[in-house]
Amino acid sequence: MNKINYQPIGIIRSPFKEPKGTPIQPTASVDNEGRVELFPEFTDGLQDLEYFSHIFLIYHFHLSKKAPLKLKPFMDDKEHGIFSIRAPSRPNPIGISIVRIDKIEDNIIYIKDIDILDGTPLLDIKPYVAEFDIRHVTKNGWLRQNVHKLGNTKDDERFIK
């Protein structure tokens, strides 16, 4: 298979300047504000985005180290397969977060509920649509007994270079 290359379309700005202490999911970062600075050549792509309340930000974990196929996630003491956890260290270090749109001005999207490091390269934006994206979940794997830890769990730098 051919190599896949992506170029950032913007930069994500947030109050989180280093991994340590950063919330590990947007739902644990309610009301934390940030912004997406889209590169000017992509501004036209923002047309009609203001009619959505939430968006997916797809980004590159630029500080993550290469991941083994098994590692210990933030909310458990046991190793799990990389594809059953949401850690930033991955074979392809791609992150996805659902954030709230506060407002859009020119090429800047002001957002809330951010769990992303300042300076993170943005790869794409997609609108969040409840009718497309909400599913009835019947199994949460190993997280079933650990999900209650979310509000108290912060990044401890275990996945950075």
pTM equals 0.81
CA 82 to chain centre: 16
Give the pLDDT of residue 152: 59
pLDDT tens-digit readout, 82-100: 898 878 888 999 999 999 9
pLDDT above 70: residue 148: no
Give the pLDDT of residue 86: 78
Question: Which CATH number applies to 10-152?
Answer: 2.40.30.70
pLDDT tens-digit readout, 7-59: 999 999 999 888 776 666 666 566 789 999 999 999 999 999 999 999 999 99
The confidence band for 118, taking pLDDT boundaries of 50, 70 and 90, is very high
Which of 48, 43, 36 is CA-nearest to residue 113?
A: 36
Q: How many CB atoms lie within 10 A of CB 152?
A: 8
What are the structural domain ranges in the chain?
10-152
Give the pLDDT of residue 112: 95
The confidence band for 72, taking pLDDT boundaries of 50, 70 and 90, is confident
Which of 104, 134, 130 is CA-nearest to residue 43?
A: 104
The confidence band for 65, taking pLDDT boundaries of 50, 70 and 90, is confident
Please report, to the nearest 10 degrees, the dihedral formed by the alpha carbons of residues 113, 116, 122, 126 taken in order: -30
Mean residue pLDDT of the chain comes to 85
Give the pLDDT of residue 20: 72
